[in-house]
Chains A and B, each alone.
Chain A
Amino acid sequence: MHQVRLQIKGSDEARYSYSIDVQISAVLQYWSKPKNYPLFIRSVPVQNELKFHYTVHTSLDVVEEKISAVGKAMADQRELYLGLLYPTEDYKVYGYVTNSKVKFVIVVDSSNTSLRDNEIRSMFRKLHNSFTDVMCNPFYNPGDTIQSKAFDSIVSAMMVQAS
């Protein structure tokens, strides 16, 4: 379903990126082409937020690397889910890129074994759907930080579920 929606929205202009961090988790987005700035960030243990921000920001390098690697082969029907970007000592970082180059990043506590690849994938899909809804809002100015309540609640629900 979201494939169709994306076509509607989708120009090949790469525009946003977005990331989520579920460590017990945080969600993030950024504007990819011009600046890669965050559209939405959320992390559940707030006390160490700075570290997550750094982690997510750093992961963009890997995301870009993966995109450029995949992009050449099959530009059109590539997998949106990028899989595990890289593991650090404490966290696993997963990535997802929409066709419009909005990036989603989820950072999960590596001790959290309940989250397997499939769960992460479905989380991304949910996130993407919700993000599409945000974009469909005619009052949303693309590129602004996301302040949608619906989106917020979906992310919160996901993070609660994940933790």
Chain B
Amino acid sequence: MAQCVQSVQELIQDSFVPKVAVLCSEDAQKITRKNNLNFSELLRPFCRLTSEGHMRDSNNQVQVVKNLRISVNNVVTRPSVPTSGVHSPAQRRLLSEVVSASQPAEGGVANVITAGDYDLNISATTPWFEAYRESFLQSMPASDHEFLNHYLACLLVVSSSEAVPVEQFLKLSQEQHMIQHNGEYTNPKWFIPNTLKYYVLLHDMSQGDEQRADSVYEDMKQRYGSQGCYLLKINSRTAAAGTDEQIPDPWSQYLNKSSLQSQVRNPAMPCDESSNRQSINKGLRFNHTTPALTLVLCGRSCKLLDYKGKHSCELPSDKPTRRAKSLQFYTGVAAGTSHGACLTLNDHNRLRLFIQEFTFRGLLPHIEKNIRQLNDQLVSRKGLSRSLFSVTKKLFGGGKVPEKSIAELKNTSGLLYHPEAPELQIRKMADLCFLVQHYELAYSCYHTAKKDFLSDQAMLYAAGALEMAAVSAFLQGGAQRPYPAHYMDTAIQTYRDVCKNKVLAERCALFSAEVLKSQAKYSDAATLLIKMTSEDSDLCSALLLEQAAHCFINMRNPMVRKFAFHMILAGHRFSKAGQKRHALRCYCQAMQVYKGKGWSLAEDHINFTIGRQSFTLRQPENAVLAFRHILTNDSQQTATQQGAFLREYLYVYRNVPGVCEVALPQLPLPCINSSATRVYFGHERRLAEGEKQAATHVSLDQEFDQDLAAVWQDLEEQVVAAANRGVVPSTFYPTQCCLNSQTDNLHFPLAVVEEPIIVEVAFRNPLKVPLVLSDLSLLWKFTLKDFSRPQPQDVMVGDAVTITNEKEAIAPRVRKGKGGIPSVCKFLTFSLLSWQARLKLLPRQTGQLTILGLVYNLASTPSTGDSTINSNSPSVRGRQDLEIQGPRLNQTKEEKTSVSHGPDRRLDPTITPPMPLLEVFFLQFPTALLCGEIRKAYVEFCNVSHVPLCGLRVASTHPDFFTFGSSSLATPLTPLSPTSFENCSAYKTLATPPGATPGSVTAVTLVSAADFGSGGGGVFGTGGKRVAEIPLGEGTLTPGESTQLPLWLRGPDQEGVHEINFLFYYEGAEKGGKISHRVLRHTVFICASRSLSVRATACRSNTLPEEEGRNGSMLVFVDVENINTSEAGVREFHIAQVSSSSKQWRLHKCINPAENKDCKLTTRERGKLCFRATRCKPHEATSKSLEKYTFADLSLGNEQIISSTTPCADFFFRRCQSSESWRPLIAVETQGRHSRSQGAGPGGGAEDITGVVRKCNEVDLDIIVLWKAFVVEDNKQVILEGQLHVALQTIGKEACSLRQKEEAQEMVLLKFKPELPPPMTRPSMEQLSHLIKTNLHYPESYSHSFVQKSLCMIPVILTLSNCSLAQVDAIIDLRHKTTSPESLEVHGSFTWLGKTQYKLQLRAQEVMRLPLRAGFLHAGVYNLGTPRVFAKLADQGAMCETSQQTATPALIIINST
């Protein structure tokens, strides 16, 4: 139970006060009427006595009466009405008005209660409840079983201006007597038969004769005794005069209540005369329609009632006129000044004195007398009755029916006693004692009475006595007697169940609960209050439930949830009772407990109710807020329920006046995933135009891929570096055409004027019902800014509705394009679906644009559930803002400890001046190629902007895939040779001279790599390897111009699908703009299928250098295998030509000229070609300085392809570039492997050994195999051409055109420790064994007559050739004998004669001959290859003396002649 203003004691005391009736003569009324009050009202503020009264009880002991209050009321007579246990409708209405009039103050006291983890904001006081209680207690009808609200005394008031006041007194006295004893009226009820009559002479100071009044008073004193009469002088000033004097108005607080009660109907009316008048009107109405109403309205309307009632018996026919008159009368008065206008402070004092006098002289002695009387009666009767009763009880065996009851009626509540019945006397005495605060005596009396009533089975009486006994026991205070709570319980139960008197039960419960509360028995109080709720009265139940809820929260361990639950119940009852404001308040308080705790069903229910109540109370903002909660939280409700919520929400929205006009409301649905918003700058590109294929660029349809973005950014960086002479400018910022949540949005994106901005917004419908959106458009803000001289201009907010007008009306600025999908204006978003809308903006001027949000119409589908959209379904126009939170910052410590987010400028593009815009189209661009196939395509560059374009460059992830050719070598296309194939070959060819044998060298060309490197329009710029400048005619593209360029493509070497990215870079002609450059992306997918596999090996020829007259020659074996698997497609491959390209070597001739001219390979066939390669002699000396490549073409067919020109050489060089990148890597790897095999050793100076050693094995020869493939395509034979490259690096090592995948890379173990750096750097044994090449020269057969000479001596020359470029020490050991068993078997051996071990030193590349002699003893075949050569580099220690590879077996035949 909430805290109350009054304490319990005060409450109970004030509820039971001595009541005094007032009868007024008409003249007296006129006097009081001057003050706008009647007599009882006049007295009311002074009814509480400030001084103590004294009285003696029956034992003659003085009893102090403190703080007594009396209640003065006009006598209202009405015919007997059966007292029912329920309130009449009028009473109910009154109570409900009282409650609804009392509302919590706006922003008033609310204290925070912390219970567990709940912090609740609850108003501690419940004034509406107190108002209700006061009203309720006042409206208690006087009943027969208790006397507390019976009249104890009657004031007879007569004006001194009356002609004969004494007569008037007599008249009034008679009237009172009639009312009391006539039996015509059961109301009002009188306490004691001989009611105290107190005669009051009212004197109007302003008009009456004071002396006369005094004399009349003297007369009265004579008549009634000085104790029984009083002269009251009032109105000591005229209404007109003395307005300057400020007199407090003590009446207002008593009278306002009544006017408040009537104000409820029209709360707007100010609380002054006008409301008074209204209350009078209402009073009249009450009077007319419900004559049974008692004292409902205290104050004037009340007066009106009794005024009416008094005369109604006399003048029943006169009613209408009288009422009219009285109305006139009242309005006249009411229109005057406020209450007590004619009263001075002196008068106030007089009134106070009068009451005091009356109470102490008249009332208290009267009560005292009566108590004594009753006491005497009881004492005298006690002995008799008790004994008599006990005897009769004994005689009749506990006869239940006492003598009095025989004659009485029996009703459900038990007995009805006659008003003067002796049983009631004791109750009467108890009540009297209670009224004068003599609680101890009262308790004992009640207790006795209770026993009597119970034994009589007079349940109503007994309950009353029990109730009062409990109350008086409580009021006794001290620890004399424990509070008998069970008395109360029994009383309530009896009232309710036996007597069926809900009102009394309620009163009792109210007291009981209040008492329990004061004793901190909150749980009992709550139980009691909850028990009292019933279906009968919603208002009462609501109030009681609310109090119960307050009890729960006030407990020592606050029961928050019970509080909340009962609050909800109370709110429910309030709303049933029509108390919407209170209902709303209850729900709001309960909401605090349920909010955000996961009790979604309950939360939804509360929110929904709050929304509804708020709406009916015209608080649309709150309603909208509450409904938002239901809709935005992930609802667990069923679809139908959600649909209902949605419709309700839309309805509320549409009926909110003024919301739509002022500012568009924020809509909660559908959810916009702001961070998923994507922004695209630029046109939606055409993907194809006829045969032309447009560059793919970027579009919103593509998913963002982080890796891909990195690739593009890398490419852009390279191309920018290339464009800026190798340096990436510090202001470089990668171009982002499409912004989303993963891109870097820290910078303001740049958009170009006249180029559209497309915003994609992601919606999600969290509900299970479809939503209809229509008329979507963007909301934006634009600041005009000329970038040459910045000056902020007006900011205008485009509204969706005014787009079309804006075009003409408002000058240039920015005009909005149509909605993203113009043809569809309505969308259904189905349940739980996410869905995107694209909206377009077209900036017309430069400046700063900010996209604020979205505007759209939201509607729900009709409840039938079909998805057809009918146009008149209710829709609401509203907006949703796009607020994008940037990524969380996590750099500094502060950022790490707190949650802060960076900015996201996705939606704030800067509109910059026009920039060139490039479009790129591809013609005849293939999608599938054979590996190594060469194809010619065309590319068209088109400048579609109004600004010239220059600096066109392209970067690609696969630079070896394409070439634009080298312009410096561009010669007019070769005339086709007679034997050339029908289709236009991509290669430049020459017809082979007729006489030449195929396979012999026909052409040797020297080409500098620079020609293909940085020459005009060359392949690779200086900045990056992957960047190429595109040879435009004049370097610029004028607006609208387009250029076509040829483009050669070569199928990638690896089979499979390749994703190839092109990045076209271009700049505007004017430098220094906001955007330095622009890029265009293109991605192609090429499917490469297998063609040929070429493997090549180089072998050192063993022939002596002198033989050929050259320093070196090599044999090159080329294995060509057709690995194409599609038998149907590719019929056969022809090897058209083999070319070589190297700085030092060239192919000399083909050794095995095939029978047929071409080398044909059908599927899975393999062929081997053998070539001899020689060093390019003329350039030997200068090869290092002149980085020129020698191209040698060996045509196997009848036409020669010039390999040194575009595109063959282009691709060759491109391939070099790409392969160079991996070449050193392999070297390191092999070294690493060797070092491990060789083990540890001092590694000083090992670096150069390795170099030297490797060098001697190195060949740097690239073989280009040019082939033609005969392909059947659509029943037509097509010839495809291609080229494959093989790079020979080391002698004896096989090289393959297909790059072998390194096995090691397949499964790389994760290593946590870095591997030890390879300590190796020592050349391997094998490598070292190649240092020296040996050769034996001897006659093949020799005839010798062993008969003549037993020893045959044959001279043999051992040629040692140092392959390396360093000095080599060599040891030749001739004694060395083969240890293999095989050689032992050879019968007979020979011996070397002469010096058998030599130590020689060979300079770099020196050839040394060593004459030897071998001696043979028998004829036979001998192997002369026994000499072992050990070599080491001269400047090294003995460490790496390695046995050199032996020459092949050198057999000699010795014939014996």
Contacts and interface: CB of A to CB of B under 8 A. Distances in A.
Contacts of B552: 61
Contact of A60 (B557, B561, B568, B602): B561
A37 B568 CA distance: 19
Interface stretch (B539-547, B593-601, B908-916, B1365-1373): B593-601
A58 B601 contact: no
B601 A61 contact: no
A155 to B, nearest CB: 18
Given A35-B117, A68-B557, A50 B562 contact: no
Given A54-B565, A57-B565, A65 B598 contact: no
B601 A53 contact: yes
A132 interface: no
Nearest to A58: B565
A38 B599 CA distance: 7
Contact of A36 (B562, B568, B597, B602): B597
B552 to A, nearest CB: 8
Contacts of A35: 117, 597-598
A53 B117 contact: no
A37 B602 contact: no
Contacts of A36: 597
A37 B597 contact: yes
Interface centre among B559, B597, B599 (most CB of A within 10 A): B599
Given A54-B565, A58-B561, A65-B557, A49 B597 contact: no
B557 A64 contact: yes
A35 B568 CA distance: 20
Contacts of A59: 561
B1377 interface: no
Nearest to B116: A64
B1351 to A, nearest CB: 92
A54 B602 contact: yes
Contacts of B601: 49-50, 53
B559 A50 contact: no
Interface of A is mostly: helix
A30 interface: yes
B599 to A, nearest CB: 6
A138 interface: no
Interface in B1161-1185: none
B602 A57 contact: yes
A57 B117 contact: no
Interface in B546-600: 552, 557, 559-562, 564-565, 568, 594, 597-599
A49 B600 CA distance: 11
A61 B559 contact: yes
B598 A34 contact: no
Contacts of B598: 30-31, 35, 37-38, 145
Contact of A34 (B117, B565, B594): B117
Interface of B is mostly: helix
Interface string B1286-1315: 000000000000000000000000000000
Contacts of B565: 54, 57-58
Given A58-B562, A61-B561, A68-B557, A50 B597 contact: no
Given A50-B605, A68-B557, A61 B562 contact: yes
A31 B597 CA distance: 9
B1200 to A, nearest CB: 71
A111 to B, nearest CB: 21
B1222 to A, nearest CB: 45
Contacts of B557: 64-65, 68
Contacts of B568: 54
Nearest to A68: B557
A36 B565 CA distance: 15
Contacts of B562: 58, 61
B13 to A, nearest CB: 36
A35 to B, nearest CB: 5
A146 B840 CA distance: 45
Contact of A65 (B559, B597, B602): B559
A37 B561 contact: no
A42 to B, nearest CB: 13
A35 B117 CA distance: 7
A38 B117 CA distance: 16
A57 B605 contact: no
A62 B555 CA distance: 13
B912 to A, nearest CB: 49
Nearest to A36: B597
Contacts of B605: 50
Interface in B112-155: 116-117
Contacts of A62: 559
A53 B561 contact: no
Nearest to A86: B562
A147 to B, nearest CB: 14
Interface centre among A38, A50, A59, A61 (most CB of B within 10 A): A61
A94 to B, nearest CB: 17
A51 B599 CA distance: 12
B602 A53 contact: yes
Contacts of A60: 561
B645 to A, nearest CB: 14
Interface string A124-162: 000000000000000000000100000000000000000
B569 to A, nearest CB: 9
Interface in A53-111: 53-54, 57-62, 64-65, 68
Nearest 9 A-B pairs (CB), nearest first? A37-B598, A61-B559, A58-B565, A61-B561, A61-B562, A58-B561, A37-B597, A53-B601, A50-B601
Given A31-B598, A58-B561, 11 more contacts: A30-B598, A34-B117, A35-B597, A37-B597, A54-B568, A57-B561, A57-B602, A58-B562, A58-B564, A61-B561, A145-B598
18 contacts: A30-B598, A31-B598, A35-B598, A37-B599, A38-B599, A50-B601, A50-B602, A54-B565, A54-B568, A57-B561, A57-B564, A57-B602, A58-B565, A61-B552, A61-B562, A62-B559, A65-B557, A68-B557
